[in-house]
Amino acid sequence: MLKDFLLKLYLLPVNKNDRLAMSIGNRISQDHQHLRGLAFTLNNLKNREKFGKIIVDVGCFEGGTPLYFQKKIKDVNVIGFEASSQSYNKAVENTKGKASIKIENYALSDFTGKTNFYFTDNKVSSSLNPLSGNDERFNTALVEEVNSITLDEYFDGQSMNKENILAIKLDVQGHELNVLKGAESTLKRTLFVLTEQSNHNSYEGGSHYYEVDQLLRQSGFKLHNIFAPFSYDPFLYEFDALYINTSLNHS
């Protein structure tokens, strides 16, 4: 709380320009800047009502990000996906009573079926992709069999399968490309994609930023903003990128 107060105080001279304040804040304090950036973008979007109310949170962990979106973004419905049964149960508990939040116990990928989920000893680095052994900061602690589904197939069975989607947020530790490959139809009606981008080989078969960028550009998206770049000496390790669907955005 003190950190947020001091940051706001420091930014007071530039707060009349929202875009400038966000840009400077992103450089000073990187914590959750990608989520703040998405909230800022959606809350200041012209004619937002025509793009729907749905935010898809892929890798919602214990429900923190769906709660953040509900609190910070005006009038949205959040669908959170969490592969881990343990984290799913906590997410359901943490979002209990929030009618605008729905939590699903699925791993999103480019196929439907059973697959392994690899828990790491720091939890937030867990993934459908096994560790490669190239990163000494975390290790595999447990392997759990989970249910996977494509985003296209999920929405095919829902009443909102024709509705536009405001944003998809991806935090799946190297599995981003697989999720997007399973969302070909869904992407056509999605305005924004906020995705973690990797410049490392911590996961076997893990996505790299240039592969994700190419798929999104081929799907009609354009890079809108970059948040919280993290360097792991001597290279840029990862960052978060926000893409906008140019075929949907006419405002």
Over residues 23-51, the pLDDT tens digits come to: 444 443 445 789 999 999 999 998 898 89
Tokens 């320009």 map to which residue?
Answer: 17
What pLDDT digit, counting tens, does each position of 140-199 carry?
999 999 999 999 999 998 777 788 999 999 999 999 999 999 999 999 999 999 999 999
- For 135, the enclosing helix (H) or strand (E) is none
* Token digits of residue 10: 């420091």
In this predicted structure, what is the pLDDT of residue 77?
Answer: 96
Alpha-carbon torsion 211, 214, 218, 223, what sign? positive
Nearest-10 crossing angle of helices 2-11, 18-28: 130
Phi first, then psi, for residue 176 (nearest 5°) are -60, -45
In this predicted structure, what is the pLDDT of residue 17?
Answer: 46
- CA 223 – CA 244 distance, rounded (Å): 6
Q: Give the model's confidence band at 135: pLDDT under 50 very low, under 70 low, under 90 confident, else very high.
A: confident
34: three-class secondary structure by DSSP:
helix
**Which part of the chain is CATH 3.40.50.150?**
44-245
In this predicted structure, what is the pLDDT of residue 13?
Answer: 59
Contact 22/36 with Cβ under 8 angstroms?
yes
Stated length of the chain: 251
Question: What CATH architecture applies to the domain 44-245?
Answer: 3-Layer(aba) Sandwich (3.40)
Comparing 9-23, 134-148, 214-228, which segment has the lowest mean pLDDT?
9-23
Give CA separation, 126 vs 114, 130, 145, in Å.
17, 9, 13
* Token digits of residue 204: 């076997």
162: three-class secondary structure by DSSP:
coil
